[in-house]
C-alpha cells in the first residue's frame, strides 16, 4: 500500500509569474520549475525521515517516488512512498541497527566441546535483540529475539520448540512518510521552493533574450 501527498498550485497565478516570457516558453519553464521543486521535495522527505528515524538514507530513497508534475487547470506535485515489498506494510527490525543483547542473568550450563568433552560454562540468559527505531530514544530490547538468515533478519520463535519462527516487523518507509510532522515539513518546502525556482528560471530565460 502506497501513501502519497500532493501539493497544488493555481495555474493562473503561476502564469502571471511567467507572463513576461514568450508563450512557447511559459509551459516549459513551469514544468522545469515543478520538476526541480519535486526533486528537492524528495530529498527533503528523505532528510526528514532520517532525522526522525534511525534509518539510513540509502534505505529510504528507493521507496520514494515522484509522479511526473502535471499541468492543466491545476499544476500539481505528487510524492509517493511505497513499501519495500509489495503488499507489505512493515519491515524487519534488522534495518534499525539490530544487534544481540545478552541477558543480565547468568546460568551454568553443560557444553560439549569439539573434542567430545563436556564442560560447565557460565552463559547469559534472558536476552534478545536490541534495536533503535527513532532517533533520540534509547535502544529497546526485544526479549527472546535472535538474528538469523546470515545476519539479515531478526526472528522470534512462535512456541517452545526450535521451530516455527517468524520475522520481527516494524514500520516501513510509507508509515514514516505519513508522519504529520514530516508531511508538513515537506509541504512547506514545496510551497517555499516552487516560487523561487520559477522566478529563477524566468530570470534566466529573460537574460537570454
Residues 71-117 pLDDT 10s: 554 567 888 888 776 656 678 898 898 998 877 667 777 778 888 88
- Based on the fold, state whether residues 116 and 74 are members of the same structural domain: no
This prediction's pTM:
0.74
Beta strands in 50-197 (DSSP E): 64-66, 74-81, 90-92, 99-101, 105-112, 118-125, 128-131, 140-143, 146-148, 153-157, 165-167, 169-171
- On whether both 129 and 146 belong to a single domain, the answer is yes
Computed over every residue of the chain, the mean pLDDT equals 82
According to the model, what pLDDT value does residue 116 have? 86
pLDDT of residue 68: 67
Residue with cell 538468515: 149
So what's the pLDDT on residue 53? 94
* Bigger pLDDT: 21 vs 2: 21
Q: To the nearest whole percent, how much of the chain has pLDDT over 90?
A: 20
Report the alpha-carbon distance of residue 162 to residue 89 in Å, rounded. Answer: 27
Span 135-146, mean pLDDT?
Answer: 89
Residues 165 and 102 in one domain: yes
User: What is the predicted pLDDT for the residue at 71?
Assistant: 59
Instruction: Give Cβ neighbours of residue 42 (< 8 Å, ≥ 6 apart).
Output: 61, 64, 66, 79
My answer on whether 167 and 177 are in the same domain is no
Backbone angles phi, psi at 80, to 5 degrees: -120, 150
Weakest-pLDDT range from 93-102, 104-113, 135-144, 189-198: 104-113
Pair 138, 105 in one domain: yes
Is the Cβ–Cβ distance between 68 and 83 less than 8 Å? no
Q: How confident is the model at residue 43 (pLDDT cuts 50, 70, 90)?
A: very high
Given this model, what pLDDT does residue 10 score? 65
Q: What is the pLDDT of residue 46?
A: 94
Query: What is the predicted pLDDT for the residue at 4?
Result: 75
Q: How far is CA 64 from the centre of its chain?
A: 8
**Are 105 and 161 found together in one domain?**
yes
- Predicted local distance difference test score (pLDDT) of residue 131: 93
Same structural domain, 156 and 184: no
Residue 105, strand partner residues: 125
Asked if residue 97 and residue 62 are part of one domain, the reply reads no
Query: Looking at the structure, do residues 196 and 147 belong to the same domain, yes or no?
Result: no
Total domain count for the chain? 2
Q: Are residues 63 and 129 in the same domain?
A: no
User: 130 and 74: one domain?
Assistant: no
What 3-state DSSP class applies to 191? Answer: helix
Residues 97 and 49 reside in one and the same domain: no
Q: What is the pLDDT of residue 130?
A: 92
Residue 12 domain boundaries: 3-87+172-207
| pLDDT recorded at residue 125 | 60
Q: What average pLDDT score do residues 3-10 get?
A: 74
C-alpha grid cell for residue 198? 520559477
Amino acid at each position: 500500500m502506497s501513501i502519497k501527498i500532493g501539493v497544488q498550485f493555481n495555474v493562473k497565478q503561476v502564469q502571471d509569474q511567467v507572463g513576461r516570457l514568450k508563450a512557447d516558453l511559459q509551459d516549459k519553464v513551469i514544468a522545469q520549475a515543478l520538476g526541480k521543486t519535486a526533486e528537492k521535495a524528495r530529498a527533503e522527505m528523505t532528510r526528514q525521515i532520517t532525522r526522525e528515524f534511525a534509518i539510513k538514507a540509502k534505505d529510504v530513497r528507493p521507496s520514494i517516488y515522484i509522479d511526473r508534475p502535471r499541468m492543466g487547470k491545476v499544476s500539481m506535485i505528487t510524492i509517493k512512498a511505497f513499501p519495500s515489498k509489495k503488499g507489505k506494510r512493515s519491515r524487519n527490525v534488522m534495518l534499525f541497527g539490530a544487534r544481540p543483547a545478552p541477558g543480565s542473568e547468568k546460568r551454568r550450563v553443560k557444553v560439549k566441546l569439539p573434542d567430545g568433552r563436556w564442560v560447565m560454562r557460565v552463559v547469559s540468559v534472558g536476552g534478545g535483540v536490541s534495536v533503535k527505531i527513532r532517533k533520540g530514544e534509547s535502544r529497546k530490547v526485544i526479549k527472546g529475539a535472535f538474528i538469523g538468515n546470515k545476519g539479515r533478519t531478526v526472528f522470534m520463535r512462535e512456541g517452545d520448540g526450535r521451530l516455527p519462527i517468524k520475522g520481527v516487523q516494524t514500520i516501513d518507509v510509507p508509515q514514516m512518510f505519513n508522519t504529520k510532522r514530516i508531511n508538513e515539513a515537506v509541504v512547506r518546502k514545496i510551497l517555499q521552493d516552487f516560487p523561487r525556482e520559477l522566478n529563477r528560471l524566468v530570470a534566466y530565460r529573460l537574460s537570454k533574450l
